[in-house]
């Protein structure tokens, strides 16, 4: 770094204009592509780390606004990334996924409660979610269904038989007490 580099402990957020501590800004990773590949674009904090110019709160609120306008784009990329981590196929297009969500109705087929399409942290269990019927087969038209986040999280990567065993165990435990 040159002698003229200023190390900052606080900075004004470029969006909300509030003066905030450097920890309120996300660290920047080097760019992966484009003319500035390998470079970090942002400002330097007191520890010499490069940070974004928009605070974490403003970044998150901007993301949520975009997500509420068109959730399918973000969902598509999230599920594609999840498939990559799980090393399973991802064969859905954005349009196919969007149609699945739109045709899923307004109720969770597992629990019967009404989906909350614009769920927040407090009620995200009621949000619609794309589930792999057989986790090993990946995200295909035939192997996906829209259920609530709650149902999807309960199932996670469990086999149907395992879910049945858990159910039977707790049902018998409750009867004993």
Distance CA 79, CA 77 (A): 6
Residue 4 lies in a domain: no
Distance CA 107, CA 99 (A): 16
Answer yes or no: do 111 and 159 share one domain: yes
Distance CA 70, CA 154 (A): 27
For residues 6 and 36, the model is more confident at 36
> Which domain range does residue 47 map to?
10-62
Taking CA atoms, 68 is separated from 9, 21, 41, 71, 99, in Å, by 34, 29, 28, 6, 17
User: Judging by DSSP bridges, how do beta strands 10-12 and 25-27 pair with one another?
Assistant: unpaired
Residue 53 lies in a domain: yes
The mean per-residue pLDDT over the stretch 127-137 comes to 90
Residue 35 lies in a domain: yes
Distance CA 130, CA 97 (A): 9
Residue 119 lies in a domain: yes
Residue 24 lies in a domain: yes
**Whether pTM exceeds 0.75:** no
Which of the four pLDDT bands, split at 50, 70 and 90, describes residue 68?
A: confident
Q: Which pLDDT score, from 0 to 100, does residue 160 have?
A: 85
Residue 177 lies in a domain: no
Is pLDDT at 58 greater than 90 in this prediction?
A: yes
Which of the four pLDDT bands, split at 50, 70 and 90, describes residue 5?
A: low
Which of the four pLDDT bands, split at 50, 70 and 90, describes residue 3?
A: very low
Which of the four pLDDT bands, split at 50, 70 and 90, describes residue 89?
A: very high
Answer yes or no: do 127 and 158 share one domain: yes
Answer yes or no: do 58 and 102 share one domain: no
């Amino acid at each position: 770094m040159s002698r003229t580099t200023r190390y900052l402990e606080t900075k004004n957020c470029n969006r909300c204009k509030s003066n905030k501590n450097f920890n309120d800004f996300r660290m920047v990773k080097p760019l992966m592509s484009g003319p500035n590949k390998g470079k970090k674009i942002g400002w330097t904090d007191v520890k010499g780390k490069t940070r974004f110019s928009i605070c974490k709160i403003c970044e998150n609120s901007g993301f949520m606004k975009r997500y509420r306008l068109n959730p399918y784009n973000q969902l598509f990329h999230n599920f594609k990334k999840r498939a990559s981590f799980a090393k399973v196929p991802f064969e859905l297009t954005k349009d196919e996924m969007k149609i699945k969500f739109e045709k899923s109705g307004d109720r969770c087929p597992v629990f019967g409660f009404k989906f909350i399409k614009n769920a927040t942290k407090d009620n995200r269990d009621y949000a619609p979610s794309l589930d792999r019927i057989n986790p090993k087969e990946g995200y295909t038209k035939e192997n996906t269904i829209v259920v609530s986040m709650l149902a999807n999280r309960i199932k996670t990567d469990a086999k149907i038989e395992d879910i049945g065993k858990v159910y039977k165990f707790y049902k018998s435990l409750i009867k004993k007490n």
